Amino acid sequence: MRIAMVSEHASPLAALGGVDAGGQNVYVARLTEELARRGHDVTVYTRRDDPDLPDRVPLPGGA
């Protein structure tokens, strides 16, 4: 299944302990990893919290 996750506030790439990083970031990252582990094609759309990040960043687990 192809899944598009929209996380307008919590980037799964945010460094924990930062200004906008906490439980929701961890939840989005772990849910994405688990869905990918189960064979789903997952893409997360989120805001870019660092202008130096590339447009696409692979997440652990293949998402």
Does residue 62 lie in a domain region? no
Does residue 25 lie in a domain region? yes
Q: What is the band of 35 on the pLDDT scale with cuts at 50, 70, 90?
A: very high
Residues 21-42: what's their mean pLDDT? 85
Domain range for 13: 2-46
pLDDT for the residue numbered 22: 65
Does residue 8 lie in a domain region? yes
pLDDT for the residue numbered 41: 92
Q: Which two tokens stand for residue 36?
A: 């990918």
Three-class DSSP category at 27: helix
Q: Structural domain tally of the chain?
A: 1
Interatomic CA distance for residues 52 and 54, integer angstroms? 6
Does residue 6 lie in a domain region? yes
Half-sphere exposure of 23 (CA within 13 A, CB side): 0
* Residue reference for tokens 């998402």: 63
Does residue 51 lie in a domain region? no
Q: Which residues contact 28 (CB under 8 A, 6 or more apart)?
A: 5, 7, 10, 11, 12, 44, 46
pLDDT for the residue numbered 3: 94
